[in-house]
Amino acid sequence: MPTTVPAYGKEAAGRLAAMADVTASDGALRRFLHGLPGVDAVGLQARAATLGTRSIKTSAKAYAIDLAISMIDLTTLEGADTPGKVRALCAKGVHPDPTDRTTPKVAAICVYPDMVATAKEALAGSGIHVASVATAFPAGRAALPVKLADTRDAVAAGADEIDMVIDRGAFLSGRYLAVFEEIKAVKEACARPDGSAAHLKVIFETGELETYDNVRRVSWLAMLAGADFIKTSTGKVAVNATPPVTLLMLEAVRDFRAATGVQVGVKPAGGIRTTKDAIKYLVMVNETLGEEWLTADWFRFGASSLLNDLLMQRQKLSTGRYSGPDYVTVD
């Protein structure tokens, strides 16, 4: 196996260049993606369900809860968002449980591009990243220059991470190279003048791609195009992150690292609301990728209400009593 380099590092580009032959043309890319092993849906779902039966108790649960909190991209993506709402969310991200300062902070606050500056200011010095959705989120139906401008605007406003959406229409109609080129272009737009770059998360909207074969193909496509993270969903459609889809993406990330040495992160988003759910995802990461991925650098939860459930469970573990919604903060 090649030595591991992070997807966001300088060396990753060289590794991807070694795979250039498979992305040289639409035909080559199609042949490559369609040559990936198929996915048996029932078997995949059964494996995810079995991992979901792991019983995580006591010290392991405490560890998992803190880990999950530290992996949250605490998100508000509403038309009604205001600077006040965003600042409140940032405050919560820094001190999720005001009554217990040992509670870890979240990984990032995820907002629309026009709220990036507000979030950046509110989080100054906290170490929490600002993530911004971009590229005409959530539908992605805009011209490429608009998407790139959207991205550059968010980066210029201080976004540490960009959560782009792919062109699902192009993918479903088989124009794989168009999707590939667009991701590459957005990755370039993530560059800052000082030579650094915002990390790029690529959202597939797996609920719209529908088949697991599509999810495996799009995962490889995005990683070949330079994705730093691959992300399931926008949270804006009927089907968001599911354990089987996430497991499949974890397997793709595992196989991509084995093939290229490039380590890519994974972010399930949407629909993960309970501690029990979050722990199931962590078990999947643990048993599919191992501890190398068990940090906020390589695994994130795109979520909002999940945090309060984690906090209530955390309080239960430390006090022995069941907590209630009045003992965690509304955002």
Partner 1 sequence: MSDRLSVLKTYKLYVGGKFPRSESGRVYEVTDTEGGWLANAPLASRKDARDAVVAARKAFGGWSGATAYNRGQILYRVAEMLQGRREQFAAEVAAAEGVSPAAAAAQVDAAVDRWVWYAGWSDKVAQIAGSANPVAGPYFNLSSPEPTGVVAVLAPQESSFLGLVSVLAPVIVTGNTAVVVAAERAPLPALSLAEVLATSDLPGGVVNLLSGRTAELAAPLAAHQDVNALDLTGAGAELATELETAAADNLKRVLRPRAADWTADPGTERLLAFLETKTVWHPMGV
Partner 2 sequence: MTFDYAPAPESRSVVDLAPSYGLFIDGEFTEGAGGGLRKTVSPATEEVLAEYTQGTADDVDRAVGAARKAFEKWSALPGAERAKYLFRIARIIQERSRELAVLETLDNGKPIRESRDADLPLVAAHFFYHAGWADKLGHAGFGPDPKPLGVAGQIIPWNFPLLMLAWKVAPALACGNTVVLKPAETTPLSALFFADICRQAGLPKGVVNIVTGDGSTGAALAGHPGIDKVAFTGSTEVGKAIARTVAGTDKKLTLELGGKAANIVFDDAPLDQAVEGIVNGIFFNQGHVCCAGSRLLVQESVQDELLDALKRRMATLRVGDPLDKNTDIGAINSAEQLARITELADAGEAEGAERWSPACELPGSGYWFAPTLFTGVTQAHRVAREEIFGPVLSVLTFRTPQEAVAKANNTPYGLSAGIWTEKSSRMLWMASKLRAGVIWSNTFNKFDPASPFGGYKESGFGREGGRHGLEAYLDV
By CB under 8 A, tell whether 43 contacts partner 1: yes
Piece of 114-122, 167-175, 194-202, 210-218 that binds partner 1 (CB under 8 A): 210-218
By CB under 8 A, tell whether 59 contacts partner 2: yes
Give the one residue of 42, 143, 238, 330 binding partner 2; rule: CB under 8 A.
Answer: 42
Is-contact 178 138, C-beta < 8 A? no
- Residue 232, classified by CB atoms within 10 Å of its CB into exposed (0-12), middle (13-18) or buried (19+), is buried
Q: Which is catalytic among the residues 163, 228, 277, 309?
A: 163
Torsion-angle region of residue 45: left (phi > 0), alpha (psi -120 to 50) or beta? alpha
By CB under 8 A, tell whether 139 contacts partner 2: no
- Coil vs helix vs strand at 163: strand
Nearer to partner 2, 118 or 206 (CB): 206
Nearer to partner 2, 49 or 191 (CB): 49
Contacts of residue 137, defined as CB under 8 A and 6 or more positions apart, other chains included, come to 77, 112, 163, 164, 165, 203, 234
By CB under 8 A, tell whether 43 contacts partner 2: yes
By CB under 8 A, tell whether 64 contacts partner 2: yes
Binding mask 248-267 for partner 2 (x = CB under 8 A): x--x----------------
Nearer to partner 2, 3 or 59 (CB): 59
Q: What angle separates helix 306-319 from helix 58-70, to the nearest 10 degrees?
A: 150
By CB under 8 A, tell whether 49 contacts partner 1: no
Give the one residue of 142, 157, 239, 294 binding partner 2; rule: CB under 8 A.
Answer: 294
Is-contact 259 288, C-beta < 8 A? no
Shortest reach from residue 209's CB to partner 1, in Å: 11
Question: Could you give the CA distance from residue 244 to residue 240 in angstroms, rounded to a whole number?
Answer: 11
Number of residues that bind partner 2 (CB under 8 A): 29
Largest interatomic CA distance in the chain: 60
In the residue annotation, 92 being an active-site residue is answered as no
By CB under 8 A, tell whether 230 contacts partner 2: no
Give the one residue of 37, 79, 84, 193 binding partner 2; rule: CB under 8 A.
Answer: 37
Sign of the Cα torsion 179, 182, 188, 189 reads negative
Beta bridge partners of 324: none
CB count in 10 Å sphere of residue 290: 10
The amino acid present at 125, given as its one-letter code, is: G
Nearer to partner 1, 45 or 318 (CB): 45
Question: Could you give the CA distance from residue 208 to residue 194 in angstroms, rounded to a whole number?
Answer: 37
Shortest reach from residue 211's CB to partner 1, in Å: 5
> Residue 236 binds which one of partner 2, partner 1, none, with CB within 5 to 8 A depending on kind?
none
Piece of 120-128, 129-137, 209-217, 271-279 that binds partner 1 (CB under 8 A): 209-217
Written as six digits, the tokens of 130 are 């600002």
Rounded (10°) CA dihedral 133, 259, 278, 107:
-50
Shortest reach from residue 212's CB to partner 1, in Å: 8
Question: Could you give the CA distance from residue 275 to residue 258 in angstroms, rounded to a whole number?
Answer: 31
By CB under 8 A, tell whether 211 contacts partner 1: yes
In the residue annotation, 163 being an active-site residue is answered as yes
Shortest reach from residue 135's CB to partner 2, in Å: 30
By CB under 8 A, tell whether 3 contacts partner 2: no
Written as six digits, the tokens of 78 are 């509403």
Q: Annotated catalytic sites, by residue?
A: 163, 231, 267
Interface with partner 1 (CB under 8 A): 40-43, 45, 210-212
